[in-house]
Amino acid sequence: MQDQNKNLILATALSFLVILVWFMLFPPPDPTIDPNAPATVETQAGASGVDMALAPPAAGGDGATPAEGGAPAVTQATAPRVPIATAEVEGSISLIGGRIDDLSLRGYFETLDEGSPIVRLLSPVGTEDPYYALYGWAPGGDLGFDQVPGANTEWRIEQGETLTPDTPVTLVWDNGNGLIFRRIVAIDQNFMFTVTQSVENTGAGAVRLAPYGIVARHGLPDDLQNFFILHEGVVRKVDGQLDELGYDDVTDLDVVAREAAAAEVVEVAENGWIGFTDKYWMTTLIPGAAQPFTSVTKYVASADIYQTEARLPAMTVEPGQTAQVTTRLFAGAKEWETIRTYQDEGGIDRFIDSIDWGWFYFLTKPMFWLLHTLNVTIGNMGLAIIALTVIVKAALFPLAYKSYASMARMRELQPQMEKIKERVGDDRQKMQQEMMDLYKREKVNPASGCLPILLQIPIFFSLYKVIFVTLELRHAPFFGWLNDLSMPDSSSTFNLFGLLPWAAPEPTSILALIFIGVLPILLGISMWLQQKLNPQPTDPTQAAIFAWLPWVFMFMLGGFASGLLVYWIANNMITFAQQYIIMKRHGYTPDLFGNIRGSFQRKKPAGK
C-alpha cells in the first residue's frame, strides 16, 4: 500500500507539472480594451498631503482639459512638428503641448519578414495606440491653469530645426502676463532625452508653480504578453527600492479612487525614476540623481488612460528671476549594455533592474552577463548558449560526480531489489528494512541522484527567464531556419521540414502542438537517451509513466523559445556523456544507447 501511495503521489505531481507547463505556454486570454475609446479628461486630485493646486491634470486627447479652457486650433495628427533624427531613433515632437509623441526605433523591426516596418514606440493621440511623454507646469497660489503650459499649449520654435545629438531644440511660449516658458530638448546617440524646463518672470509679482513630467498610455498595448513570468506595466525606483505594478494593479487605483485619491503617490527623497515597461521597450521619467520628487501612478477610467508622473517641488519665482529644472526621459530599447552605461556612467541608480531579472536575479544577472560575453566573443547566440551549457555543466560536475556514480550503483542493484520485493510480498515494513540494509551494505545513498536535478532547476528557470525577457535574444539567429532564438522552432513535420510545398502551422495554432519541429524531436530523443542511464522504477505503472515522459515533454515544450530548447538538448547530451563516462570508470558497460539491450554488467577483474 505504501508503494501504491508513492506511485499515486508521483503520478499526481507529474500530471500537475504537465498542466503547469501547458498553462505557461497557453495562458487564457484577457479581454481587450478598445484603445480608441473617446478620451475625455478630468483633473485628478493628489493624495493626502499633496498640494492639489500643484497637481497636473490628467493627460488626455485633443479636447481641452477643464483647466485649460478652449480646444486647440489643430489636432495632434495635424500639429506642426519638430523632426527627430538620430542613428537609433526617428520621429518628431508636436508643438501642441510640446509632446514627445512620435518615436520609432531604427535598429529594430517588427518581424523578420523582408520589408517589415521598424518598431514604433510612441504615437500621438489620434493614432491607434496613443503613447507619449508630456511636460508642463502646475500653477500655485493665484496662478491659473491658463497661465502655465500644459497638454494643449501651442509652442513655437525659438532655436533649432531638427533634434539630433548635435543640435538641441528650444521651444518657447509666452503667457502674455509676464511669464515666458522655455523648453530645451536634447537627445544623445541612443535613447535618452534631456528636457530642461525654465520660466522667466518679467511681471511685477512673485509666482509659485511646479514642473512635472508625464508618460501616458491610452489603453493596453497591443503586444501585451500577459505571461506570469514577465512584468509589464509600471516600473519605478524609489530611494533604492524597485517597485513593479501590473496594468491590473494600476486599473484598481480607479476603484480605490471612488473612496479616496485616484492615484498612488509616493514621495522620493532622491535617486528615483518611473515609467512604463514592455517586454523589450521602455519609457521612463528620470529626475536628477539628488532631486526629490513625487512619484505618481494614475488610471483615468473615463478615458482609459494609464499614467505615470514625476512631480517636482514647487518653485517661487520672484520678479526678474528665472527658474529652471532638468530631467531625463528614456524612450527606447532595453539593451543591456546601453542601460548599464546609463546606470554606471549616467548616475541612474539601479537602472539595470528595469530589465525583469525575476526571483532568481542573483543567478539571472551573472548568467546573462556570461551569455552576452560568449555571444560577443563567438558571434553566434546559439553557439553561445551551447558554450554556456558546457560551462555550467563543468562547474556542477564535481557535485554531480558522486550522484551519477550512485545512480549507476542503484541501477546495478535493481535485480537484488526485485528479489527482495518477490521474497517479502506485501510486507511493506520488512521490504523497507531489507532495502535499507541493502543500501547500507552496498554503501549507496538513493537520494543522492536527485542532487544534479535540484541544482539544475533554478539554473534552468534563470536561463528561461534570460531567453524570454532579454532583448539580445530577440531575432538572434543560430543557423539555417533557426533565425530567431526567442521564438519556437519554425520547422514542422506538417510539411516534412520544408520539403513539401506548403507552409508550416502558425506558432499560435493548435496544429503547431501536433506537427512539431526539429528541435522538439531532438529534445525528446535526448531526454529518452538520458533516461536510459537512470535507475528504472520497479513498479510497472511508475515505469510506464517515466517511459512516456520524454515524448510527452517533446510535444508540451515544442512551443518554448528555440534558444531554450538548444540549451536543454545540449544539457541532456552532456549529462548523458558524463553519466556514460562515469559508469565506464566504475566498471559498468552500458551500450551506446544506455541500457536498452539489457542490464548493466560489472567488468571482470583483471587476471580472471
Angle at 132 between CA 131 and CA 134, to 5 degrees: 150
Q: What stretch of H or E contains 105?
A: strand 100-109
Is pLDDT at 476 greater than 70 in this prediction? Answer: yes
Q: What are the cell numbers at 486?
A: 526567442
β-bridge mates for residue 326, sequence order: 196
Mean pLDDT of 356-371: 91
Mean pLDDT of 387-394: 91
Kindly report, residue by residue over 243-256, the tens digit of the pLDDT. 999 999 998 876 55
Is pLDDT at 240 greater than 70 in this prediction? Answer: yes
The DSSP string of 183-200 is EEEEE-SSSEEEEEEEEE
Is pLDDT at 232 greater than 70 in this prediction? Answer: yes
**Contact present, 185 and 94 (Cβ < 8 Å):** no
Share of the chain above pLDDT 90, in %: 47
Share of the chain above pLDDT 70, in %: 78
Mean pLDDT of 454-475: 85
Mean pLDDT of 331-340: 97
Q: How confident is the model at residue 44 (pLDDT cuts 50, 70, 90)?
A: very low
* Nearest-angstrom CA–CA distance, 132 and 234: 14
Q: Of 577, 562, 570, whose CA–CA distance to 392 is shortest?
A: 570
What contacts 490, CB < 8 A, 6 or more positions away? 481, 482, 483, 484, 504, 507, 517
Q: Where is pLDDT greater, at 608 or 431? A: 431
Q: Give the mean pLDDT of the chain.
A: 81
Lowest mean pLDDT among 50-54, 167-171, 186-190, 302-306: 50-54
Confidence (pTM): 0.80
Q: How confident is the model at residue 592 (pLDDT cuts 50, 70, 90)?
A: low
Q: Where is pLDDT greater, at 156 or 448? A: 156
Burial letters 474-494, b for 16+ CB under 10 A, else e: ebbebeebbebbbbbbbbbeb
The DSSP string of 426-466 is T-HHHHHHHHHHHHHHHT--TTGGGHHHHHHHHHHHHHHHH
* Nearest-angstrom CA–CA distance, 154 and 80: 9
Is pLDDT at 259 greater than 90 in this prediction? Answer: no
Q: What are the cell numbers at 106?
A: 531604427
Q: Where is pLDDT greater, at 20 or 546? A: 546
The DSSP string of 574-593 is HHHHHHHHHHHHTTB--BTT
Q: Of 282, 253, 287, whose CA–CA distance to 269 is shortest?
A: 287
Q: Which CATH class is domain 38-221+262-269+292-331?
A: mainly beta
- Residue identified by cell 528555440 is 562
pLDDT at 254: 64
Q: What are the cell numbers at 267?
A: 514621495
Mean pLDDT of 404-427: 74
Which of helix, strand or coil describes residue 414?
helix
Indicate left, alpha or beta for 215 from its phi (over 0: left) and psi (-120 to 50: alpha).
beta
Kindly report, residue by residue over 101-136, the tens digit of the pLDDT. 999 999 999 998 889 999 999 999 988 899 999 999
Q: How confident is the model at residue 449 (pLDDT cuts 50, 70, 90)?
A: low
Q: Domain ranges for the chain, please list them.
A: 38-221+262-269+292-331, 373-585
Kindly report, residue by residue over 67-77, the tens digit of the pLDDT. 333 344 456 76
Which of helix, strand or coil describes residue 235?
strand
Angle between helices 381-424 and 451-469 (to 10 degrees): 150
Q: How confident is the model at residue 539 (pLDDT cuts 50, 70, 90)?
A: low
Mean pLDDT of 592-603: 46
What contacts 525, CB < 8 A, 6 or more positions away? 550
Give the Å distances, CA to CA, from 330 to 93, 276, 334, 471: 15, 10, 10, 16
How far from the centroid of its chain's Cα atoms is residue 40's Cα? 32
Lowest mean pLDDT among 50-54, 376-380, 411-415: 50-54
Is pLDDT at 552 greater than 90 in this prediction? Answer: no
Is pLDDT at 261 greater than 80 in this prediction? Answer: no
pLDDT at 338: 97
pLDDT at 357: 92
Kindly report, residue by residue over 553-576, the tens digit of the pLDDT. 888 888 888 999 999 999 899 988
- Please, what sign has the CA dihedral across residues 108, 109, 115, 121? negative
Angle between helices 381-424 and 428-442 (to 10 degrees): 120
Q: How confident is the model at residue 508 (pLDDT cuts 50, 70, 90)?
A: low
Is pLDDT at 30 greater than 70 in this prediction? Answer: no
Give the Å distances, CA to CA, from 286 to 89, 132, 190, 505: 19, 15, 16, 44
Mean pLDDT of 23-46: 35
> In the sheet that 233-238 helps form, which strands lie side by side, from edge to edge?
156-159, 169-174, 179-187, 192-201, 322-333, 281-286, 272-277, 233-238, 241-246
Q: Where is pLDDT greater, at 225 or 10? A: 225
* Nearest-angstrom CA–CA distance, 338 and 235: 18
Is pLDDT at 287 greater than 50 in this prediction? Answer: yes
